Amino acid sequence: MITTLLVVVIVLAIAFDYINGFHDAANSIATVVSTKVLTPFMAVLWAALFNFAAYFYFTDHKVANTIAKTVLEQYITLEVIFAGLVAAISWNLFTWYYGIPSSSSHTLIGGFAGSGMAYALILGANPLEAINISATLKIISFIVLAPVIGMTISIIITLIIINLAKKSRPSVAEKWFKIGQLISSAALSFAHGGNDAQKVMGVIATALIAQQVIPNFEAMPAWVPLSCYVAIAAGTMSGGWKIVKTMGTKITKVTPLEGVSAETAGAITLGITEHFGIPASTTHTITGSIIGVGVVKRVSAVRWGVTISLLWAWVLTIPVSAVLGGVTLAIIHYIL
């Protein structure tokens, strides 16, 4: 049954997807902007194009399915989803304002889980009973694994490229690296769109199931993925310049060679996680990849003080979002 609250939830979900786009635009364009391969304006257009292009390739929606199963069905209501979205949007805007590249994926998961746990508590049940523990642990494990995998792959790719570049003249190699960075940034934007748009698809599908508009996840209507990909692409076109500065210059100085390595490593890592239906963080992945190219130069080339600050944001995102989700649901339930 279509209700006003269902419409509000869908609009909020698409709004979150848009915010996700401009919040995470830095993930796709930071290195290509910092190396001056593209202007900021051209970079966001390039990223948005490939964000949307992912719509035509990622049709299995495994990541969306994982998100939909984070909270167990008996603890899902429109109020729970609404509270989770409010929490996720609030934390995303807060971190965007302060230029902190936190994970949009994890804030959505945290907000949804927190509101689900609060609802279980209201019903007199154990809050942990509301959570799909196996799915949640898989997601949490990739807070560590995604950046480590990205860093490892970027180190390997950087070393390979350096050895190949030794056989070319520096001016020729630089030209090819700049061309390569266009391709690698496109690949990262493509993987980002495929991974992140699905997370909101999962939330909208869950809302439709909760209201018995559709019987199950497989019956998700075509307008859901289409609107999610349009929203994230539009959001990416809006920029996110504070986070671009953090990602592109503050972690380590990035050259076109290193940009190719970091972006390719990020795209490969996201491709792997999407294949297995794991909603990994694009932010964590590309940060790990950028650290990897810095480490190849020398360990001191990475500004570890900045990196440690980012790690704190990563650690806090899920619990803070969960608390916000729980508090929002309590306000809805007891006050409104």
- Give 93-147 pLDDT, tens digit per residue: 888 777 776 777 788 889 999 999 999 999 988 888 888 888 888 888 888 888 8
At 247 the pLDDT is: 47
Q: What percent of the chain has pLDDT over 90?
A: 21
Q: What percent of the chain has pLDDT over 70?
A: 88
Per-residue pLDDT, averaged over 67-95, amounts to 88
The number of residues in the chain equals 336
37-51, 101-115, 147-161, 221-235: which has the minimum mean pLDDT? 37-51
The domain of 276 spans: 4-334
At 157 the pLDDT is: 92
At 113 the pLDDT is: 92
- pLDDT over 80 at 6, yes or no: yes
Beta-carbon-side half-sphere exposure of residue 94 (alpha carbons within 13 Å): 14
Rounded-to-integer distance, Cα 284 and Cα 259, Å: 16
- Pick the closest to residue 236 from 39, 34, 13, 40 (CA basis): 40
Check residues 42 and 240 and name the one with the higher pLDDT: 42
Q: Determine which helix (DSSP H) or strand (DSSP E) holds 330, and give its type and residue range.
A: helix 304-334
Rounded-to-integer distance, Cα 104 and Cα 88, Å: 8
At 189 the pLDDT is: 87
Per-residue pLDDT, averaged over 302-328, amounts to 78
Confidence of residue 85 (pLDDT cuts 50, 70, 90): very high
- Pick the closest to residue 185 from 33, 19, 54 (CA basis): 33
Mean pLDDT of the chain: 82
At 251 the pLDDT is: 46
Bridge-partner residues for 71, per DSSP? 131
Rounded-to-integer distance, Cα 96 and Cα 310, Å: 13
Rounded-to-integer distance, Cα 328 and Cα 315, Å: 21
Confidence of residue 298 (pLDDT cuts 50, 70, 90): low
What pLDDT, in 10s, does the model give residues 240-263?
Answer: 555 445 444 444 566 777 788 888
Can you read off the two tokens belonging to residue 185? 């940034």
Can you read off the two tokens belonging to residue 189? 């934007």
Radius of gyration for the chain, computed over Cα atoms and rounded to the nearest angstrom: 20
Kindly list the distances between the CA atom of residue 237 and the CA atoms of 48, 140, 155, 234, 284, in Å, as whole numbers in the listed order.
6, 29, 30, 5, 21
Task: Please count the structural domains in the chain.
Answer: 1
Burial 273-299 (b: 16+ CB within 10 A, else e): bbeebbbbbbbbbbbbbbbbbbbbeee
